[in-house]
Structure 1
Amino acid sequence: MTGVPAVVVAAPSSGSGKTTVTTGLIGALKAAGHRVAPFKVGPDYIDPGYHAVAAGVVGRNLDPNLVGTELIGPLFAAGSAGADIAVVEGVMGLFDGRILEGQDDPTGFGSTAHVARLIGAPVVLVVDAAGHSQSLAAVLHGFIGYDPSVRIVGVILNRVGSDRHEAVLRQACVRVGLPVLGVLGRNPDLTVPSRHLGLIPAAERRDDAVRAVDAMTGLVGAALDLPAIVAAARTRVSQTTTAWSAGTVMAQEGMAQEGMISADGRRPVVAVAGGAAFTFGYAEHREMLVAAGADAVGFDPLHESLPSGTDAVVIGGGFPEEHAEALAANEPLRADLAAHARAGRPIVAECAGLLYLATELDGHPMSGVLDVVGRFRPTLTLGYRDAVAPGDSVAFTAGQRVTGHEFHRSTVIAGEGAPTPAWAWRDHDGTAGTHGFASGSVHASYLHVHPAGTPSAVARFVSAARAAAATPERAG
C-alpha cells in the first residue's frame, strides 16, 4: 500500500502552460521543504528534465501505452519512494489519448485522465484564460461531468489579463464549484525556449535551464496556494500495489548481478551515450542494466570516446542535428564505434542513435556503422507504433511485439548494403512497412521503447554484452 500524496496537473488542451506551472510548483514545494517525486504522463523526455532540475531528483514517465496499465501503479510507487508528495504533469488535453479498436471508454488510453485514475490522484486544471470570460464556467462544467471518475479538485488560471479579468474568471469557477488554486498573469518571461521538436532539453541549456527553473519557482510559487494544493494531494486514494523493482524484474528474466560476472571476474561494461546531443532516455533503463549485472557507464559523444573496457553501447534519442558538426569532429569516437561494430559487439540505438550510426547526417560524417544516410526534413513523424520484430536481434526475438513511440523530423536513406529491418508495423493509413535496421550485433531504429515494458530485451542485450566481455578485443 502506498500512501504518498499526489496531484496531477492537467489542462483542457496543449499549450495551456502545464510545463511551466508544473515545474514551478515542483520547485516551490521543494523550496518549502517537501521531498517531491516528479512524473510526466506519456513518452515525453524533455519535460522530465526540467522537473528534475526543480526537484533535485530524476523525473520519470508514466505511460500505459509503453508499459501497460498494470505497471503504472508499481512504477509510480517506485518513483515516489522516499518522497512526501508527488507531482504528475499531464499530456495534451486531460482526456486526450490513444483510441484503441473496440474501445468505448470516453477517456483516451494513456491519457492524463487514465493515468490519474490508475494512481488514484486528484486533478488540478491549468486553464489558459487569455480567451475566456464567463464562458469558462461552461468549459469547466463539461470537464467535470465528462468522466465523473476523474476528480477535478481545482483550477489554476494562467495568462490572466487584469484584476477585472481575474474577478470574472473567479466567478465562473465559483459557479461550477471549483476553487481557484492559483492565478498567473500574462508574463512572457514564464516560457521555456523551444525549437522544431518542442522545448529545448534542460541538459542542453544547463545554466540557462537552472535560471529558468528558478524563475518559474519564484513566480509560479508565489502565485499558487501551496497549502491548498498539498491538501488536495492528500486526498489521493491509495492503491494496493508493490513498488516496481529493477532487481526483481531482471531476476524474473533469469538475470541476476552475481550471475552476470564474466569468466575473468568482470561485470560487462555498457556505455550509455548522454550529453547535450543524446538527452532522451528513461531512468529505469540504467537501473535495469545494473540489475542485470552490467556496469552502465555514461559518456558524452560530443567530447569523449568510449569508456575503457566497453563491451556494449546504448545510444538513445536526442538532437544530433543540432550538434552534427561537433559529433563529426569527434573522430576517435566515430572510429571506436565502427571498430566496436566490426568486432560484433552489441549496439542498440534509438532515433538520434540511428542517425549517429549512419555514414553521414546532412553532409556531416557520422560513425558509419550502418550503410544509411541521414537527412533532416520539415515533416514531423509522431505517434505510437505497435511493432513486431521480423527476426532475432541483439535485443529482441523474432515475433516479439512491442508498443513504441516515434518522434522525429529526419529520415534515413539505406544503401545497398543495409541490414535487415528491425521492425515491421502498419502506418496510420494501414500501409504495412518495415523500419529500422538489425544485424547480428546492431539494432537501430526510430522507435523508442520503454525498458520497463520490454525487460526481456534488456536481459538479452546484457547477455550479449557478457558474451562480448569474454572476447579479447574491444574498443575504448
Structure 2
Amino acid sequence: MVTDLPRVMVAGTHSGVGKTLLSAGLMAALGNRGRRVRPFKVGPDFIDPGYHALASRRPGRNLDAFMHGADLIAPLLRHGSAGGDLAVVEGVMGLFDGRGASDEASSAHIARLTRTPVILVVDAASASRSVAAQIHGFHTFHPEVGLAGVIFNRVGSDRHEALLREAAAQVAVPVVGAVRRHDRLRVDSRHLGLIPTAEAHHSAADAVDAAAEIMAREVDLPAVEAIAAEAGELGTARWEPGSRVTPVNRPVRIAVATGAAFSFHYTEHTELLEAAGSEVVRFDPLADESLPSGLHGLYIGGGFPEVYADHLSANDSLGSDIRALAATGAPIVAECGGMLYLCESLDERPMLGLLPARAHFTSRMSLGYRTATLATSGVFGARGLRVRGHEFHRTATHPQASDSPAWTIDDADRREGYSTANIHASYVHPSWIGTPELADGLLHSASRIAKLGV
C-alpha cells in the first residue's frame, strides 16, 4: 500500500561518508522533478539543516528521540511535512550509532519510530567485493530497520562501479546509485564541522547545486521515489505548537539574533513563541547597529561568535541597546555562543559585560547529550524543572558557573552557566519541543515586562 507521506532516510555506515551533500543533492534533485520536498535531520545538528534548507527552500528540522521524546518523533515528522509530498531525512553518524552504547536517538531508532525506509550510503573509495559483507551486515543487524537501497559514494571508474554492483548483487538490497568522486562535492569545514550556510552561502549554494546535478545523473531518482512511496503508515498525530504553550494575554515582542555569528536555532522554538501569540523579530549583531524597537525579550542562540569577536566587539551601538534592554528587566536567554556574547570578554575582545565571566577558545571539544535541572528560579520559571538538551562547543568560560547557575547537569553533577533575575545563559541547548515549559517561562517573563509598559 502506498503511504500518504512518501519518505526516505539517507543513512551512512559511519560519519564522513558524504551523507550531508548527498542528502541535500537528493532533496534538490527531487525538487527539480516537481516534488515538494520537506527536509529533516536526525539528531541535534544545527549545521546540516542549513544545507537542507538551501536544497529544499524550506526550513531544516531535527528529529531527536532523546531530546524531544520518542512519542513526538512521528508527530514532528508529520508537522514538518505539511504542504509537502515527499520527506527526506538525513541520518546521523552510522546507522546504528546512538546515545552511548545503545541505539537510542540513532538513525535506526528514528527509522523504526517513523517506519521510514533507509537508503544506506557506502563509501566505496577503497573497496570492491567487501561491500557485499558490509551491506549484508547492515541489512541483517536489526530486522525492524528497513534497508531498502544502497548508494555507493566516491566510486572511481566504470570498472569500479561494475565490481561494486556485481558484489552487491549477492545481497538482496538494490543499488540505487553510484556516485563518482567529484571535487565539486566538497564544502569547507571548521572546528565544529561544515561551515554553516549563513557564513558561506554562495559556496554552499554552489555545492548543493552541483550535488543536485550529480544526483540526477548518477542516482536512480524514480527508484528512490518508489522506495519512499513504500514507507509504513506514520499515523495521523501531528505536533501542534499552539497546543504546547499558554497564549500570552497581551502583545509581546521578542527579538531573535541571527546571521553568521548566531545561526544555531531550531525552527520549532520560534513556532512555539509565535503560536502563543508573541511577535518574533530578527536582528543580525554583525550588521545591525540597533535593536528592533518595542522589545520585551531577547533570545540569542548559538553559533560562532569566536570567529567574529572583533566585529561583535566593535558594534558599540548595538551593545548599548542590549545593555539598556537588560537594565529594564526584560528577559534574555543566551545559549552557548549567545552566552559568550554576554560575557565580559571573548578571547580578550570586550563583549557586552552582562555576565561576570571571560570566555576563550580551546582545543577541547565538548559534545554530547545533557540531562539538566533548572538550578535557579528566573527567566524560565521556578527552579527544579528538568530538561534534556545537548552541548556542542570548543570554548570555555571562567568561571564555569556563577553562584546562581543556570543548570545543574544531572549526569555530571556539576553547575553550568549563569542566572540573574532576567538573564539565563549557559552552554546547554535545551529542547523546547520536549519541554515547552521553557517557552512558557520566557513568554511569561516577557509578558510581565509588557504589562509594566517598559
Class of the TM-score when normalised by the shorter of the 2 chains: over 0.9
> For the residues of structure 2 that align with 1:350 and 1:446, how far apart are their CA atoms?
6
**Given residue 457 of structure 1, which amino acid in structure 2 is its aligned partner?**
L
Q: Is the 8 A contact 1:337 1:369 kept in 2?
A: no
Q: Kindly indicate whether residue 90 of structure 2 is the aligned counterpart of residue 85 of structure 1.
A: no
Matches within 5 A, 1:396-411: 396-411=381-396
CA distance in 2, matches of 1:396, 1:382: 27
- Where does residue 306 of structure 2 map in the other structure? 321
Aligned to 1:60: 61
Contact 2:261/2:307, CA 8 A, preserved across alignment = yes
Among 439, 443, 458, the residue aligned to 2:439: 458
SS at match of 2:430: coil
Q: Which residue does the alignment assign to 2:364?
A: 379
Q: Distance in 1 between matches of 2:3 and 2:449?
A: 41
Structure 2 length normalisation: TM-score?
0.97
The separation in 2 between residues aligned to 1:45 and 1:445, in whole angstroms, is 17
Distance 2:400 2:371 in 1: 26
Q: Report the equivalent of 2:341.
A: 356
Q: What does residue 267 of structure 2 align with?
A: 283
Matching residue within 168, 178, 181 for 2:163: 168
TM-superposed CA distance for 1:171, in Å, is 1.2
Alignment check: 8 A CA contact 2:358 2:398 kept = yes
SS in structure 1 at match of 2:40: strand
Matches within 5 A, 1:421-436: 421-426=405-410, 431-436=412-417
Structure 1 residue matching 2:295: 3-state secondary structure: coil
SS of 1:130's partner is: coil
**Counterparts of 1:142 and 1:7, CA distance in 2:** 20
**Corresponding position of 1:230:** 225
| Deviation larger for 23-32 or 171-180 | 171-180
Instruction: Tell me the SS of whatever aligns to 2:48.
Output: helix
Structure 1 segment 40-439 matched on structure 2, within 5 A = 40-99=41-100, 108-250=103-245, 255-256=246-247, 259-261=248-250, 267-304=251-288, 305-414=290-399, 418=402, 420-426=404-410, 431-439=412-420
Equivalent pairs counted in the alignment come to 452
After superposition, what is the alpha-carbon deviation per residue over 1:324-373, rounded to whole angstroms, capped at 9, x for unaligned?
Answer: 11111111111122222222110001000010000110011111111111
Question: Deviation per CA, 1:103-129, whole angstroms, max 9, x where unpaired?
Answer: xxxx61000000011111100000100
Q: What SS class does the counterpart of residue 204 from structure 1 fall into?
A: coil
Q: Whole-Å Cα distance in 2 between the matches of residues 139 and 286 of structure 1?
A: 41
Question: In 1, distance between residues paired with 2:213 and 2:3?
Answer: 31
| Alignment check: 8 A CA contact 2:372 2:388 kept | yes
What is the deviation of 1:82? 1.1
Q: Which moved more, 1:205-214 or 1:175-184?
A: 205-214
Rounded Cα–Cα distance in structure 2 between residues aligned with 1:178 and 1:439: 57
Equivalent position amino acid for 1:401 in 2: R
- Give, in whole Å, the separation in 1 of the partners of 2:268 and 2:400: 35
Query: What is the letter of the counterpart of residue 275 of structure 1?
Result: G
Contact 1:375 1:412 in 2 (8 A): yes
Are residues 232 and 347 of structure 1, via their aligned partners in 2, closer, same or farther at CA, if it must alter by over 3 Å?
A: same
The answer to whether the Cα contact below 8 Å between 1:419 and 1:439 also exists between their aligned partners in 2 is no
* Secondary structure of 1:125's aligned partner: strand
User: What letter corresponds to residue 295 of structure 1 in structure 2?
Assistant: E
Distance in 1, matches of 2:346 and 2:17, equals: 35
User: In the alignment, is the contact (CA less than 8 A) between 2:373 and 2:409 conserved in 1?
Assistant: yes
Conserved in 1, the CA contact under 8 Å of 2:400 and 2:417? no
Correspondence for 1:264: none
Mapped to 2, the partners of 1:228 and 1:82 lie a distance apart of: 23
**Aligned-partner SS, 1:64:** coil
Identity %: 48
2:16 aligned residue: 15
Is 1:27 the counterpart of 2:28? The answer is: yes
Q: In structure 2, give the amino acid aligned to 1:292.
A: A
Give the superposition deviation at 1:207: 2.2
Structure 1 CA distance for aligned equivalents of residues 116 and 400 of structure 2: 50
Task: Classify the secondary structure of the residue corresponding to 2:452.
Answer: coil
8 Å Cα contact 2:390/2:430 also seen in 1: yes
- Please report how far the alpha carbon of residue 213 of structure 1 lies from its aligned counterpart in structure 2 after TM superposition: 1.3
Partner in structure 2 of residue 104 of structure 1: none
DSSP 3-state at the match of 1:66 = coil
- Structure 1 segments, 4+ long, off by >4 Å, are none
For the residues of structure 1 that align with 2:27 and 2:323, how far apart are their CA atoms?
43
Structure 2 alignment gaps of length 5 or more? none
Q: Residue 322 of structure 1: CA displacement?
A: 1.0
Instruction: Output the CA distance in 1 between the equivalents of 2:197 and 2:403.
Output: 35
User: With structure 1 as the length reference, what TM-score do the two structures score?
Assistant: 0.92
In structure 1, what residue type is equivalent to 2:207?
Answer: A
| Distance change (3 Å), C-alpha of 1:127 and 1:413 | same
Q: 2:442 matched to 1:441?
A: no
Q: Is the 8 A contact 1:7 1:123 kept in 2?
A: yes
Q: Relative to 1, partners in 2 of residues 1:196 and 1:415: Cα closer, same or farther, differing over 3 Å?
A: closer
Q: Quick one: which amino acid aligns to residue 263 of structure 2?
A: T
User: Which AA in structure 2 matches 1:236?
Assistant: A
Partner of 1:103: none
What SS class does the counterpart of residue 20 from structure 2 fall into? helix
Work out whether 1:39 is the aligned partner of 2:34: no
**Cα offset, 1:415, TM superposition:** 9.4
Give the letter for the 1:55 counterpart: S
CA distance in 2, matches of 1:73, 1:134: 37
SS at match of 1:182: strand
Amino acid in the other structure paired with 1:441: N
Whether the 8 Å contact between 2:3 and 2:232 is mirrored in structure 1 is no
Offset of residue 396 of structure 1:
4.2
1:220 Cα shift? 2.1
CA positional deviation for 1:3: 2.2
In structure 1, stretches of 5+ residues that fail to align are 101-106, 262-266
